[in-house]
Amino acid sequence: MKHIFVVNPAAGKENAYDSIRARLESGEFDLDYELYRTQGPSDATSFIRAYCEAHPEPVRFYACGGDGTLNEVVSGAVGYPQASVGCYPCGSGNDFVKYYGGSARFLDLAAQAAAVEEPIDLIRVGNRYAINAAHFGFDSHVAKTVENVRRKKIIGGRRAYTTGVLVGLLKGMKNECRVTVDGELLNPEGKILLCTVCNGQYVGGSYRCAPRSLDNDGLLEVCLVRPVSRVRFVSLVKYYTEGTHLDNPKFEKIIVYRRGAKIDVEAPEGFVYSLDGELITQNRFTIEVVPAAIRFAVPREKESGKIQAENKSMPEKC
Q: How far apart are the first and last CA of the chain?
A: 42
Do 283 and 150 share a structural domain? yes
Q: What is the pTM of this model?
A: 0.88
Cα–Cα distance measured from residue 159 to residue 288, given in angstroms and rounded to the nearest whole number: 31
What is residue 309's predicted lDDT score, i.e. its pLDDT?
Answer: 40
Do 110 and 239 share a structural domain? no
**40 in any annotated domain:** yes
**308 in any annotated domain:** no
**243 in any annotated domain:** yes
**By the 8 A CB rule, do 308 and 105 touch?**
no
Q: Answer whether residue 129 shows pLDDT above 80.
A: yes
Q: Answer whether residue 287 shows pLDDT above 50.
A: yes
What is residue 146's predicted lDDT score, i.e. its pLDDT?
Answer: 77
Name the DSSP letter for residue 228. -
Number of domains making up the chain: 2
Secondary structure (DSSP) of 73-122: HHHHHTT-TTEEEEEEE-SS---GGGGGT-SGGGG-HHHHHTPEEEEEEE
Alpha carbon separation from 122 to 154, 171, 216, 291 (Å, rounded)? 34, 31, 9, 7
Give the pLDDT confidence of 19-76 residue by residue, as tens digits: 899 988 987 878 899 999 999 999 999 999 999 999 999 999 999 999 999 999 999 9
Give the pLDDT confidence of 87-124 residue by residue, as tens digits: 999 987 799 999 999 999 999 988 988 899 999 999 99
What is residue 144's predicted lDDT score, i.e. its pLDDT?
Answer: 77
Radius of gyration of the chain (CA): 19
Task: Note down the domain range covering 143.
Answer: 130-290
Do 142 and 116 share a structural domain? no
What is residue 150's predicted lDDT score, i.e. its pLDDT?
Answer: 66
Here the CATH number for the domain that contains residue 12 is 3.40.50.10330
Do 174 and 40 share a structural domain? no
**By the 8 A CB rule, do 36 and 59 touch?**
no
Share of the chain above pLDDT 70, in %: 92
Cα–Cα distance measured from residue 304 to residue 318, given in angstroms and rounded to the nearest whole number: 33
Do 228 and 81 share a structural domain? no
**309 in any annotated domain:** no
Do 242 and 112 share a structural domain? no
- Measured from the Cβ of residue 250, the count of other Cβ atoms closer than 10 Å reads 12
Here the CATH number for the domain that contains residue 192 is 2.60.200.40
- Averaged pLDDT for residues 219-223: 97
Give the pLDDT confidence of 141-164 residue by residue, as tens digits: 777 787 777 667 767 776 777 787
**239 in any annotated domain:** yes
Give the pLDDT confidence of 153-199 residue by residue, as tens digits: 767 776 777 787 887 888 889 999 999 999 999 999 999 999 999 99
Cα–Cα distance measured from residue 268 to residue 257, given in angstroms and rounded to the nearest whole number: 23
Give the pLDDT confidence of 238-255 residue by residue, as tens digits: 999 999 999 999 999 999
Alpha carbon separation from 276 to 139, 167, 186, 189, 204 (Å, rounded)? 12, 20, 23, 27, 10
